[in-house]
Structure 1
Amino acid sequence: MTDTPGWASPGSSERPRDDARPPADAPAAVPGQSAPPHGAPTAPPAWGAGYGGPQYGPGPQYGPGGPYGQGGPQYGWGAPQSPKPGIIPLRPLGLGEILDGAVSTIRKHWRTTLGLSLGVAVVQQAVGTALELSVSGDTGDFTPVLSALASLPVTLLLSVVAAALLTMVVSRAILGQSATIRDAWRDARPRVFQLLGLTLLTALISLGIVLLGFAPMIGYLLAGADEPVIAALLFIVGLLSLPVAVWVWIQLSLAAPALMLEKQGVLTALSRSRRLVRGSWWRMFGINLLSQLLAGIVAGVIAMPFMMVGLVLGFDDLSSQVDSGDPASLPTAMLITSAIAGVISSTITIPFTATIGVLLYVDQRIRREALDIELARAAGLPEHGGTGGPGWGGQGGPAPARL
């Protein structure tokens, strides 16, 4: 137990000796109290009294942190608190702790996270806006769609790079360590192209499921048949493929962190994700859906005032286009204000959603593989045998245990 002098367990069978008891007419040890008569039964010490009688000695004195806080003794009656070297406590996480961990990552490491997402968002919006301005509405209502398709390769590459770097930043933040963009790039660079291939493969799998579901309807319409009832039934059959695609997407949602942090191959990371998600699909789906909804709400709130400003600035151009019957296209003022809104919203939402994915991966490994012990050691916590060296994921220290 402790080395506190005079401390004894409240359940101890040792009783006070009669020859050590003060006589009945002696003054009380505590002002305002009198000693019990000789031979009378004594009441046991109160649980909250600190065992402060003369036979037990003073109770243990706890510091500001309580029995498990800083400065207090190592043992107490309450349950020990989970260690928290970084943005999350090292134990299975609840929804609020996952969301708080994502926000804490952005707040504590804002130079790296926001700087990285700002650079990605600026390039994405600049490419998309430049393509729309260069077309100048010549393609009519298909202008936004065509510009999005034309900028898709750049957007995909930038998204993969951002996800890779943010994964490394979050992995260090969990251990209470910081990372610059240069540090994150050094750790992530060997696996960026593998992550790109994994992202493409995952997208093709989900898209292939949807196309397979709508294939009968597409074939029926291409054959020249025009029976509306049959076409409607085939359309419903196609819609049934959407839940299947979502189910597969959630099953594979942890493949990217597994590839980056465990240094797995693409196919191994996909299989690893399925094993980690097994039995927790609905929880993973709910948290992912909630995070996407929160990111969408934040983006909408940020975009709304910019859209109003763009509408006011470009109202005359928009009215003249409608009156003349020209192909519909957004005025330049609206395109620029929309791009600014996109930059600001993406700067916030990109690190938020990326951090949620990494924290879900860590949470599943803590629940299934006791990863919290390995993380505590990597964080240098002495009570877990930590050495204080660099952390996991190829950052110079021992990697966590993996299957």
Structure 2
Amino acid sequence: MTDPHAWAVPGSGTPSSDQIAPSPAEPAQAKADDGELEMEIPLRPLGVSEILDGAVTYIRRNPRATLGMSAILTSVIEIIVTVAQYFLLGGQARTEVTPAALARTLGGAFITFSIGSLLTAYVVLLLSGLLAPVMARTLLGRPTSFGGLWRIARPRVSRLLGAATLVMVIVFLTVAVPFAPMIAAVAGDAPDGVQAITWIVGVPVALVLMVSGYVWFALAPPILVLERRGVIASLRRSAEVVRGRWWRTFGVLFLSLVITLLAGTFVLPTPFAIAQRIVLNIDPNPSGWGLVGLVALGTVGRIIAGTLVNPFNACVIAMVYADRRMRREAFDLELQMDTPEDPVAAWLPGPLTAAGSGPQPKVPRGPLVMPPGTPPTYAPPYAPQYPPPGWSR
């Protein structure tokens, strides 16, 4: 009779049966729900370049989910900006849609640019939460479809809207408070020196507070979706995760913002700007359907640019959150020791979450005395209660 389990001498080159035949559990781990298992992002604390490259990787691995969700939100925002530019600002806005008029005046264009920038930041925060499940699955090599992403994120959409709105309100208030003395000085017709001082002091303070507030709470959307927390709890958790690495978080987010600004403002819209210039050379004063077509051409260019760059910025936020959990809570070791069947549920707060967010619990010294009749068990060093209930020194 042949033994089904072949034996080999230790140290010999003959492979054992465990090395030849995969275990029954391996096929379940080799394939995901939507495709093959292929890990491209290292499952360990990430460097700055790895965070940026990881954001590109999980857009490239999941184009339908990431670009599809981005296209929907970006289209809504750009249509709102176009309508505001065309109607809400009156005749001045109708002339400012052309590059020649933009060169002559910046009044209404600055207003619409500010509105567009705020709405774009809001979209990026929403996308960072909506696309967080894609990041969670991509780290374990699992692709995600658009329908699968929506099924995961749909129960959290209302709270995600609340968290993103609250972050924007906090950022707006941090800017409004330093500007209040400037507005009061101008409204009260204060001396020019007083007005100048309020501007010199207020503008840098407003900028510092705005950036600081955004960095502290930018991780709240992915936390809300992956850890299934409430709105206020996700903001508090974001501040805990960022604490101790504020400058690193700021540097990564600032670098991604510079990349998206360069690509979304100067590179991707260039063909559409050239097309607008050609149309203006043919008809310097377009009206009627010609003006509508010119506006639509610029809007399409902004939608395409935003669809491509907004997911990158959002993915960087999600990757920064993943990196912070790996560094504070050794979350990468948890995933490697026990590969989860559900990559999204694995991001729920675990036993190391509280320990990674604060001081480690102190373990008493000395031998443990088990109560009578207690079987010998060993609690891990990160157990919520140590010693276990009923044990004594």
TM-score, scaled relative to structure 2 = 0.69
Deviations 1:258-309 (A, max 9, x none): 1111111111111111111111111111110111111112112111121121
1:92 corresponds to which letter in structure 2? P
1:263 corresponds to which letter in structure 2? R
Cα distance in 1 for partners of 2:242, 2:119 equals: 30
Q: Is the Cα contact below 8 Å between 1:254 and 1:361 reproduced in 2?
A: yes
SS in 1 for 2:179: helix
Pair 1:106 & 2:59 matched: yes
Q: 1:233 aligns with which of 190, 197, 220?
A: 197
Cα distance in 1 for partners of 2:85, 2:138 equals: 39
Question: What does 1:342-381 align with in structure 2 at a 5 Å threshold?
Answer: 342-376=302-336
Question: What does 1:3-402 align with in structure 2 at a 5 Å threshold?
Answer: 5=9, 7=11, 86-134=39-87, 137-140=90-93, 143-144=108-109, 162-225=127-190, 227-239=191-203, 240-299=205-264, 300-315=266-281, 317-318=283-284, 331-376=291-336, 384-386=337-339, 389-393=341-345, 399=348, 401=350, 402=353
Q: Residue 369 and residue 219 in structure 1: after superposition, are their counterparts in 2 closer, same or farther (change >3 A)?
A: same
Q: Is the Cα contact below 8 Å between 1:295 and 1:353 reproduced in 2?
A: yes
Q: Is the Cα contact below 8 Å between 1:310 and 1:333 reproduced in 2?
A: no
Q: Residue 151 and residue 345 in structure 1: after superposition, are their counterparts in 2 closer, same or farther (change >3 A)?
A: closer
Cα distance in 1 for partners of 2:330, 2:145 equals: 29
Cα distance in 2 for partners of 1:197, 1:135 equals: 27
Stretches of structure 1 lacking an aligned partner (at least 5 in a row): 8-57, 63-69, 72-83, 322-329, 377-383
Q: Is the Cα contact below 8 Å between 2:175 and 2:210 reproduced in 1?
A: yes
| Alignment root-mean-square deviation, CA | 3.3
Q: Residue 266 and residue 87 in structure 1: after superposition, are their counterparts in 2 closer, same or farther (change >3 A)?
A: farther
1:290 corresponds to which letter in structure 2? L
2:308 corresponds to which letter in structure 1? I
SS in 1 for 2:268: helix
- More RCO (CA 8 Å, sep 6+): 2
Q: Is the Cα contact below 8 Å between 2:128 and 2:314 reproduced in 1?
A: yes
Q: CA shift at 1:136, angstroms?
A: 8.6
Identity percentage over the alignment? 32
Moved more, 130-139 or 290-299: 130-139
Q: Is the Cα contact below 8 Å between 1:317 and 1:331 reproduced in 2?
A: no
Q: Residue 218 and residue 136 in structure 1: after superposition, are their counterparts in 2 closer, same or farther (change >3 A)?
A: closer
Cα distance in 1 for partners of 2:44, 2:308 equals: 27
Cα distance in 2 for partners of 1:282, 1:175 equals: 28
Q: Residue 358 and residue 153 in structure 1: after superposition, are their counterparts in 2 closer, same or farther (change >3 A)?
A: closer
1:101 corresponds to which letter in structure 2? G
Cα distance in 2 for partners of 1:206, 1:229 equals: 28
Cα distance in 1 for partners of 2:186, 2:89 equals: 33
Alignment-derived partner of residue 16 in structure 1: none
Alignment-derived partner of residue 379 in structure 2: none
Q: Is the Cα contact below 8 Å between 2:129 and 2:224 reproduced in 1?
A: no
Cα distance in 1 for partners of 2:188, 2:347 equals: 60
Q: CA shift at 1:315, angstroms?
A: 3.5
TM-score, scaled relative to structure 1 = 0.68
Cα distance in 2 for partners of 1:183, 1:268 equals: 26
2:331 corresponds to which letter in structure 1? L
Alignment-derived partner of residue 49 in structure 1: none
2:241 corresponds to which letter in structure 1? L
Q: CA shift at 1:215, angstroms?
A: 1.3
Cα distance in 1 for partners of 2:242, 2:162 equals: 21
Cα distance in 2 for partners of 1:138, 1:173 equals: 49
Cα distance in 2 for partners of 1:197, 1:228 equals: 41
Q: Residue 151 and residue 291 in structure 1: after superposition, are their counterparts in 2 closer, same or farther (change >3 A)?
A: closer
SS in 2 for 1:309: helix
Q: CA shift at 1:219, angstroms?
A: 0.8
Q: Residue 130 and residue 246 in structure 1: after superposition, are their counterparts in 2 closer, same or farther (change >3 A)?
A: closer
Q: Which has the higher helix share?
A: 2
Cα distance in 1 for partners of 2:272, 2:14 equals: 58
Moved more, 117-126 or 248-257: 117-126
Q: CA shift at 1:361, angstroms?
A: 0.3
Alignment-derived partner of residue 53 in structure 1: none
Alignment-derived partner of residue 32 in structure 2: none
Cα distance in 1 for partners of 2:49, 2:122 equals: 31
Q: Residue 85 and residue 117 in structure 1: after superposition, are their counterparts in 2 closer, same or farther (change >3 A)?
A: same
Q: Is the Cα contact below 8 Å between 1:165 and 1:181 reproduced in 2?
A: no
Number of positions where the alignment pairs a residue of Structure 1 with one of Structure 2:
311
Q: Residue 256 and residue 87 in structure 1: after superposition, are their counterparts in 2 closer, same or farther (change >3 A)?
A: farther
Q: Is the Cα contact below 8 Å between 1:306 and 1:337 reproduced in 2?
A: yes
Q: Is the Cα contact below 8 Å between 1:157 and 1:196 reproduced in 2?
A: no
Q: Is the Cα contact below 8 Å between 1:106 and 1:351 reproduced in 2?
A: yes
